[in-house]
Amino acid sequence: MRLLLIEDDRMIGTDLKQALGQAGYSVDWVEDGVAGQAALAQGGYAAALLDLGLPRRSGLELLTAARGRGDTTPILILTARDGVEDRVAGLDLGADDYLLKPFAFQELLARLRAVLRRRDGHAQSLIGSGELRLDLANRTAHHRGEQLPLSAREFALLHALLERPGAVLSREQLEQRIYGWGEEVSSNAVEVIIHGLRKRLGADAICNVRGMGWRVPKEEP
C-alpha cells in the first residue's frame, strides 16, 4: 500500500519511512509543501502523512488546496504543534486525523488503519475494542471471532461503551442509551446487564471506575 509522507525533518523522515516500510507500506517521502502538493496531485496514494510546519507551502495550505481540488485521499496530520486552534483548523480543513509528535509508532499504525478502514466505508458499521467487535449494520457481535448472542439492551450498552473505548460513562449516560424516553428504569438495571456481560466476556472486558461509571479498556496499540 503506497503512502505519501510529507515531512521536512530529515531524521524523522528517514526513520518513519524505514519503520513504515517494516510495517509493510511503501512510502514516497517529500520534504516540502510544493513537492508534497505535486505528489498528492498525481494521486495513487492510499493515504498521506502531513507535517504542518513545512517549507515553501505550509501543511494547512496544502490541505486546503487538496480538498479544494476534490482530492479525497485520507490525510493524517503529524505535528509537534499542540495548539487547540491548530488541531481544530486541521480537522476543519478536512484532515482525517491529527497525531501529536512525539507519537508512539504503534499508535500511528492504528490510526492509519482506522483512516484506511473509514475510506473503505467500514468505519460506520464496525466498532470494537480488543477482542470484541460490534457490527452496527446487522446488529451482531463477535467475541474472539465467535458470534455472541446479545439482547437489545446488552447490545445498546456495549454500543455506547465501544463508541469511545477508554472513556468512562456514568450510570445515567448508560441508562439513557438502553432505555427509551418515559420507560420505567429499574435502579440496578445497568449493573445487572454488566454483570451478565462480564460473565460471558470476562471480568476485564468492562471495568468499573468507582463513583464514575464503566469503561471498556482502550485497544492496545
Residues that bind other proteins in the complex, under the rule CB under 8 A = 9, 11-12, 15-16, 18-19, 22, 53, 80-83, 100-105, 166-168, 170, 207, 209-212, 215, 217-218
Looking at beta carbons only, is 73 or 208 nearer to other proteins? 208
- DSSP string covering 25-54, please? -EEEEE-SHHHHHHHHHH---SEEEEESS-
Q: Which residue, 11 or 152, has its beta carbon nearer to other proteins?
A: 11
Q: How far apart are the first and last CA of the chain?
A: 20
Cβ distance to other proteins smaller for residue 149 or 210: 210
Q: How far is the CB of 168 from other proteins (least distance, A)?
A: 4
β strands within 7-125, DSSP E:
26-30, 47-51, 75-79, 97-100
> How many residues appear in the chain?
221
Q: How far is the CB of 122 from other proteins (least distance, A)?
A: 26
User: Between residues 13 and 36, which has the closer beta carbon with respect to other proteins?
Assistant: 13
Distance between CA atoms of residues 74 and 119, nearest Å: 7
Is 22 exposed, middle or buried (CB count within 10 Å of its CB: 0-12, 13-18, 19+)?
A: exposed
Q: How far is the CB of 138 from other proteins (least distance, A)?
A: 31
Of 111 and 150, which CB lies nearer to other proteins in the complex structure? 111
- Residue 110 beta carbon to other proteins: minimum distance, rounded to whole angstroms: 14
CB of 148 to other proteins, least distance (A): 24
Q: How distant is the alpha carbon of residue 64 from its chain centre?
A: 22
